[in-house]
């Protein structure tokens, strides 16, 4: 077994394809080295070792690893003509994590390793720059102290110890910025930091460079299991067993003077997708300064003026890498004395908007085929492109402005810690997380927040990168903002005035412009650009499943049509009754004491329904419209307030006491498993009869107007075939009578929402023209888990990894999926061409849509805003199936 792979000096023991073994960073460093790009030499300790350590405990390494590391290190020494720990020509290294899946900032990094009181003097002499050598040393002691030795702040309200000590020194020496500290002050910093280490850990800072190296390697491996990495993996569905690699690489220095710099760059703009080299750099700095947001970096375009030769080289390398990987790259680089070095390349994280633009541009540039472009799309990210923005007509002056780090608009009440964000969100509040800057510890709060605002940072700072990954609105570097976490207040200072804010105040953020507004502003729906249209054309050329929408109102139906819906897959008729003047009629119907009473109430409902259906048919002209007959969870409709009870009593000509008694009688222990769905029509057939009549009359009406109407009548919550046989007969009779001779093709089908229905699907299919899986109820009944109460404990199950995802969000393939497959098989055994669809919430969730494709569905149906997502997911599923053969 070879646990260590070398790279640099024009060759490498690995390639980009070796990510599982070398991690993303290591594999791409190897690829860059093999392409002959300027990569400082180094080596990668494989993920195999991390898995070994996880199994055998910290510091238990496989046999022979020491020797392999020693040999690889000797190779680096040779290539750099230096020696690790040498008193004349010391080699310094960086030690960085790098997992197979990108987890930016979640694990640990140590720079400038190999410094001690002897080597620092050698570095000073060799570089001719003592300030630089001591700057490296103080950075190293702080980073190593924090990461490896665990000298960290006690809680998130406190400043990290080394930051605090450095701030004290800066005050003492009247230095505004880190780089204003004198060499003597830096020496003092090293001594103070070491004393802090001794105080906190009870042991001196390690001087032996090999001890330092193995300490760092161990810490990086251990960081695989730190809470923030764990949280990140859960959020992104990354397996916790693959482990991280460790990259040990010769240091190059961006802090050797003004002809040095360090930065990050994207080969295209990651927020908009515009083809331009985009990024930031700092002169005379090390990489951590850019990411940490301590100094505000300069845009890459400035590099062309400051270090033109290095800039030209960066442009050349960026193009080469993008062409090589055929995708937008995210680069890390350092310029040492005018010479460019590449430290990382990886596929760049991007907003939904940039994802669409880059995919379409790469095809137009001939670098990708439409098929490849569609396979690159993350369907869920299209959500961002469809995000609402602030209404331009209602845009007051901004209270402050920062950088537009991640687009979209967000409105929320402000909180100042990640924990507060998580707690408030748990209570159902929409919050904005407002911080001086964010750190990886804040990730749960960022996830919980609707948007993120930071006083510091840049376009590539932690907040920006993480928010973009989450598709969340984010404004960084809002320099007018001051945050006082302890007092739970903030202020916006500028133009000679100060606006005070406290926890719970409302702000509106515009992540596309970087503007911050006081209070809550109106939003308008997204405008779909030409690129999305092009991409969607490709998507539609590959997919085989139809995509319909769940819509109960003409407005929703219109929106869905504009997003490409090919029909309505679910119109919940009970949702048409929530307006006050209508709910009264429904209540009368439910509470009537006999059939005559119910028919009287239904007579009021009939014209309303007819009008609603007619309008839906007009909007969906030419497309199928599935109307589900009444399925009211009774508790949602029963009146509770005395005034409401009186109102219904008056209409029914009964006493309020009698109505109250009836309400009591109707109250169910488990309304979600109660008298709902077609059970209602088995007991009160007139309800479906009148609804079928309303649909028939609406069809006849619009057909006369020239509208092409294809009604599909759907009967919910069927558990035994006989329910469907009876109700189908009743519905067909009433519908045809209402048509009054008009020739309209229609079908009658059922929802499959119960495990029993899946099992007896062959017999249910005898009476059904189509099946539509109601996976909300099917998940509830398969798991025996109430749809309405799951939130109370499901988060614990997710945290503890008992379920991989919320089954009400992503379809559970093992349980619910197996029942669906059984249902499809049964149904098609009876009717080989049975039309099969889904209309539960899963119909718009990418992994569930892919499942439906594999299970042989004809269509999925989802909420209007998710129609483009479902279209893209359906196309990817079709392409994946094709690739499998
Ligand atoms: C379902 O159960 O999946 C469904 C679509 O019906 P509803 O959510 O209205 O119960
Ligand atoms: Mg249902």
Structure tokens at 731: 């519905």
Ligand 1 atom nearest the C-alpha of 574 is: 9
Ligand number nearest CA of 573 is 1
What is the reported pLDDT for 343? 96
Ligand 1 atom nearest the C-alpha of 842 is: 3
Integer Cα distance of 364 and 551 in angstroms: 36
The candidate with the shortest Cα–Cα distance to 629, out of 686, 670, 673, is 686
Integer Cα distance of 433 and 224 in angstroms: 26
**Which among 717, 774, 866 is the best mutation to test ligand 1's pocket, defined by most ligand atoms within 8 Å of the CB?**
774
The end-to-end CA distance of the chain, in Å, is 35
Among protein residues, the one whose CA lies closest to atom 1 of ligand 1: 774
Per the CB < 8 A criterion, the answer to whether 93 and 42 are in contact is: yes
**Which among 777, 819, 842 is the best mutation to test ligand 1's pocket, defined by most ligand atoms within 8 Å of the CB?**
777
Pocket residues for ligand 1 (CB within 6 Å)? 570, 572, 631, 753, 774-777, 839-840
Is-catalytic flag, 136? no
CB hemisphere CA count around 789 (13 angstroms): 7
- Ion ligand 2: residues, CB within 5 A, are 753, 774, 777
Find the helix or strand (DSSP H, E) in which 381 lies: none
Q: Is 292's pLDDT higher than 70?
A: no
Q: What is the 3-state secondary structure (H, E, C) of 656-712?
A: HHHHHHHHHHHCCCCHHHCCCCHHHHHHCCHHHHHHHHHHHHHHHHHHHCCCCCEEE
CA of 780 to the centre of ligand 2 (A): 9
Ligand 1 atom nearest the C-alpha of 633 is: 10
CA of 777 to the centre of ligand 2 (A): 5
User: Quick one: average pLDDT of 737-750?
Assistant: 96
Among the listed residues 311, 387, 444, 462, the single catalytic one is 462
Among the listed residues 136, 474, 839, 862, the single catalytic one is 839
Place of tokens 């067909």: 732
**Which among 550, 633, 675, 716 is the best mutation to test ligand 1's pocket, defined by most ligand atoms within 8 Å of the CB?**
716
Q: Is 552's pLDDT higher than 70?
A: yes
Cβ-based neighbour number of residue 782 at 10 Å: 20
Residue-averaged pLDDT of the chain: 92
Among protein residues, the one whose CA lies closest to atom 10 of ligand 1: 777
Integer Cα distance of 497 and 517 in angstroms: 15
Place of tokens 């006050």: 580
404-433 in b/e form (b: 16+ CB < 10 A) is bbbbbbbbbbbbbbbbbbbebbeeebebbb
Ligand 1 atom nearest the C-alpha of 839 is: 5
User: Quick one: average pLDDT of 716-745?
Assistant: 97
Structure tokens at 781: 């009944």
Integer Cα distance of 813 and 770 in angstroms: 22
Query: Strand 497-502 relative to strand 329-336: parallel, antiparallel, unpaired?
Result: unpaired
The candidate with the shortest Cα–Cα distance to 572, out of 693, 677, 675, is 677
Is-catalytic flag, 839? yes
Query: Strand 747-752 relative to strand 770-773: parallel, antiparallel, unpaired?
Result: parallel
Integer Cα distance of 663 and 649 in angstroms: 11
What is the reported pLDDT for 113? 98
pLDDT digit string (tens) for 460-481? 667 776 776 676 889 988 989 9
Dihedrals φ, ψ of 386, to 5°? -95, 5
pLDDT digit string (tens) for 211-242? 999 999 999 999 999 888 888 887 777 888 89
Instruction: Using alpha carbons, list the distances in angstroms from residue 105 to 226, 241, 264, 290, 626.
Output: 12, 19, 14, 13, 48
Among protein residues, the one whose CA lies closest to atom 9 of ligand 1: 572
Question: Can you list the alpha helix ranges (DSSP code H) found in 128-202?
Answer: 130-147, 161-172, 183-201
Among protein residues, the one whose CA lies closest to atom 6 of ligand 1: 774
The candidate with the shortest Cα–Cα distance to 274, out of 386, 356, 333, is 356
Integer Cα distance of 353 and 351 in angstroms: 5
Integer Cα distance of 884 and 754 in angstroms: 32
820-853 in b/e form (b: 16+ CB < 10 A) is bbbbbebbbeeeeebbbbbbbbbbbbbbbbbbbb
pLDDT digit string (tens) for 488-503? 999 999 878 899 999 9
pLDDT digit string (tens) for 670-725? 888 999 999 999 999 999 999 999 999 999 999 999 999 999 999 999 999 999 99
Supply the angle between the helices 595-619 and 554-562 in degrees, to the nearest 10: 30
What is the reported pLDDT for 648? 87
**Which among 552, 578, 631 is the best mutation to test ligand 1's pocket, defined by most ligand atoms within 8 Å of the CB?**
631
């Amino acid at each position: 077994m070879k646990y260590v792979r070398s790279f640099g000096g024009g060759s490498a023991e690995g390639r980009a394809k070796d990510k599982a073994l070398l991690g993303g960073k290591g594999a791409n460093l190897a690829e860059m080295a093999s392409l002959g790009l300027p990569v400082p030499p180094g080596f990668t300790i494989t993920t195999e070792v991390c898995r070994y350590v996880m199994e055998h405990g910290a510091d238990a390494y496989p046999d022979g690893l020491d020797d392999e590391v020693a040999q690889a290190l000797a190779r680096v020494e040779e290539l750099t003509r230096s020696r690790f720990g040498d008193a004349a020509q010391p080699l310094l290294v960086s030690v960085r994590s790098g997992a197979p899946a990108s987890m930016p900032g979640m694990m640990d990094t140590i720079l400038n390793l190999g410094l001690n009181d002897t080597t620092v003097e050698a570095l000073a002499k060799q570089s001719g720059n003592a300030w630089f050598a001591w700057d490296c040393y103080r950075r190293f002691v702080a980073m190593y102290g924090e990461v490896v030795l665990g000298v960290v702040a006690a809680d998130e309200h406190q400043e990290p110890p080394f930051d605090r000590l450095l701030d004290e020194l800066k005050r003492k020496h009247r230095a505004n910025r880190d780089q204003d500290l004198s060499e003597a002050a830096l020496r003092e910093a090293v001594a103070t930091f070491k004393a802090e280490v001794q105080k906190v850990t009870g042991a001196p800072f390690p001087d032996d460079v090999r001890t330092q190296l193995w300490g760092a390697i161990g810490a990086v491996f251990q960081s695989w299991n730190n809470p923030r990495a764990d949280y990140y993996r859960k959020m992104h569905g990354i397996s916790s067993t693959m482990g991280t690699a460790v990259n040990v690489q010769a240091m190059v220095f961006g802090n050797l003077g003004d002809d040095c710099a360090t930065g990050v760059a994207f080969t295209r703009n990651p927020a908009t997708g515009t083809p331009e080299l985009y990024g930031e750099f700092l002169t005379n700095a090390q990489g951590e300064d850019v990411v940490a947001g301590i100094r505000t970096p300069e845009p890459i375009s400035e590099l062309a003026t400051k270090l033109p030769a290095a800039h030209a080289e960066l442009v050349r390398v960026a193009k080469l890498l993008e062409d090589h990987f055929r995708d937008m790259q995210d680069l890390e680089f350092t310029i040492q004395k005018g010479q460019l070095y590449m430290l990382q390349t990886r596929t760049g994280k991007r907003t939904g908007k940039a994802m669409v633009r880059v995919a379409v541009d790469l095809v137009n540039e001939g670098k990708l085929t439409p098929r490849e472009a569609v396979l690159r799309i993350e369907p869920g990210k299209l959500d961002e492109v469809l995000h609402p923005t602030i209404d331009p007509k209602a845009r007051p002056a901004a209270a402050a402005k920062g950088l537009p780090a991640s687009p979209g608009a967000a409105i929320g009440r402000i909180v100042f810690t990640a924990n507060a964000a998580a707690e408030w969100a748990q209570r159902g509040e929409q919050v904005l997380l407002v911080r001086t800057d964010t750190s990886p510890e804040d990730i749960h709060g960022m996830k919980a927040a609707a948007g993120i605002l930071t006083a510091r940072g840049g376009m590539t700072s932690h907040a920006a990168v993480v928010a973009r990954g989450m598709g969340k609105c984010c404004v960084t570097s809002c320099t007018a903002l001051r945050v006082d976490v302890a007092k739970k207040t903030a202020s916006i200072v500028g133009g000679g005035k100060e606006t005070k804010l406290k926890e719970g105040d409302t702000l509106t953020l515009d992540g596309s412009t970087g503007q911050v507004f006081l209070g809550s502003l109106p939003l308008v729906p997204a405008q779909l650009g030409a690129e999305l249209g092009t991409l969607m054309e490709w998507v539609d050329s590959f997919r085989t499943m139809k995509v319909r929408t769940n819509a109960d109102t003409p407005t929703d139906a219109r929106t869905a049509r504009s997003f490409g819906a090919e029909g309505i897959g679910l119109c919940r008729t009970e949702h048409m009754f929530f307006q006050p003047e209508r709910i009264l009629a429904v209540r009368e119907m439910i509470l009537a004491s006999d059939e005559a009473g119910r028919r009287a109430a239904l007579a009021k409902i009939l014209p309303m329904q007819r009008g609603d259906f007619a309008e839906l048919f007009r909007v969906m002209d030419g497309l199928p419209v599935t109307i589900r007959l009444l399925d009211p969870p009774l508790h949602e409709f029963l009146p509770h307030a005395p005034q409401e009870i009186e109102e219904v009593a008056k209409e029914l000509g009964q006493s309020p006491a009698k109505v109250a008694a009836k309400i009591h009688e109707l109250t169910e222990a488990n309304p979600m498993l109660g008298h709902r769905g077609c059970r209602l029509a088995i007991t009160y057939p007139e309800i479906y009869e009148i609804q079928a009549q309303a649909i028939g009359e609406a069809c006849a009406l619009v057909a006369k107007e020239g509208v092409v109407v294809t009604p599909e009548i759907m009967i919910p919550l069927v558990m035994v075939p006989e329910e469907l046989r009876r109700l189908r007969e009743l519905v067909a009779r009433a519908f045809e009578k209402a048509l009054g001779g008009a020739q309209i093709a229609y079908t009658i089908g059922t929802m499959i929402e119960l495990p029993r229905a899946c099992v007896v699907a062959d017999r249910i299919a005898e009476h059904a023209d189509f099946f539509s899986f109601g996976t909300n109820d099917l998940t509830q009944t398969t798991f025996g888990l109430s749809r309405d109460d799951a939130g109370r404990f499901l988060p614990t199950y997710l945290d503890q990894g008992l379920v991989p995802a919320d089954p009400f969000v992503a379809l559970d393939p093992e349980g619910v999926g197996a029942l669906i497959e059984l249902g499809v098989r049964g149904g098609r055994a009876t009717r080989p061409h049975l039309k099969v669809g889904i209309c539960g919430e899963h119909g718009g969730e990418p992994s569930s849509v892919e499942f439906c494709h594999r299970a042989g569905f004809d269509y999925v149906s989802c909420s209007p805003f998710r129609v483009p997502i479902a279209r893209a997911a359906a196309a990817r599923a079709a392409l994946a199936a094709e690739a499998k053969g």
